[in-house]
Amino acid sequence: MIPYQPIAAPDALLARRNPVAKVAAALVVSVALIATVDPVAPAVAIGFELAVVPLFGVRYAALARRAWPLLLSALGILCTLVLFAAERTGSLLWQAGPVEVTTGVLVTALGMSLRVIAVALPGVLVFATTDPTDLTDALVQNVKAPPRFAIGALAAFRLVPLLALEWRMLSLARRARGVDAGRNPLARLRLFGSTAFALLVGAIRRGTRLATAMDARGFDSGSPRTSARRQRFTGADAALVAGAATLAAGALAVSVALGTFRPLVG
């Protein structure tokens, strides 16, 4: 099995907080920012989130390596909305044939892109600074989640890195048997589909064996289970959640004060 390790310094101020508190703080910020589509609130939130990254014990370069798919997705959303949005309100900024870029569509696209980053970045920080075993223990002890569900999710999370390795092994095995698409895009597409199906079948088989093994070890018995490591929810953890709520409220307040607040509904 490929181990998963957090990339944060374990003695950092926020990295050592209770995993449930970190997840709750991330959810508070994310849910609050979903309420608006303007670019100001998520921009303010991103600024605060980047400012507290050192408190999690994470280097900005390491965070960038983890978050580059997020940045790529935000850029894709920005380009898609700018080029293909149906409503073209505001003054015209640039035109090339049928493509018109207006102030209204640019503000909307920028707001959506920044909101994706602002909503997802707290989650990236949480999982970059949290050991999955600690998160499972905290869910069972503090949230009273069913142990079968929590430990099953932990096992699935631990097995996720195996998918990339197994994909590579399947590709190498097919290439060794002479099954190679070469430069033919249609053949590449067919090969991709068959490899993905084989990976799915292998994942289902592994999950079935894992579920059977967990049931054999008493996870389906309903008997109370003990935890080897205690996860305590302290006042500092509650302060982290309160700080996240303050951050979300502050970002929305700045947006309202500047007159840019645009609610998602209404």
Residues 154 and 127 in one domain: no
- In 3-state terms, what secondary structure has residue 227? coil
Q: Are 180 and 205 within one domain?
A: yes
> 184 lies in a domain?
yes
- Shared domain check, 114 and 29: yes
Based on the fold, state whether residues 107 and 43 are members of the same structural domain: yes
Same domain, 152 and 113: no
If asked whether residues 55 and 187 sit together in one domain, one would say no
**Domain count of the chain?**
2
For residues 73 and 107, state if they share a domain: yes
Q: Same structural domain for residues 54 and 98? A: yes
Full residue range of the structural domain in which residue 205 is found: 146-216
pLDDT at 1: 41
In a domain, 236, yes or no: yes
Report the chain's C-alpha Rg in angstroms. Answer: 23
At residue 105, what is the residue type? V
For the chain, the residue count is 266
pLDDT averaged over consecutive 10-residue blocks of the chain (266 residues)?
Answer: 61 89 93 87 93 91 87 88 73 71 80 90 89 88 86 81 86 83 80 89 87 79 75 93 94 91 76
What confidence score (pLDDT) does residue 222 get?
Answer: 67
Query: Is residue 193 domain-resident?
Result: yes
For residue 209, what are the contacts with CB-CB under 8 A and spacing of at least 6?
Answer: none
**Are both 25 and 128 inside the same structural domain?**
yes
Q: The pTM is what?
A: 0.79
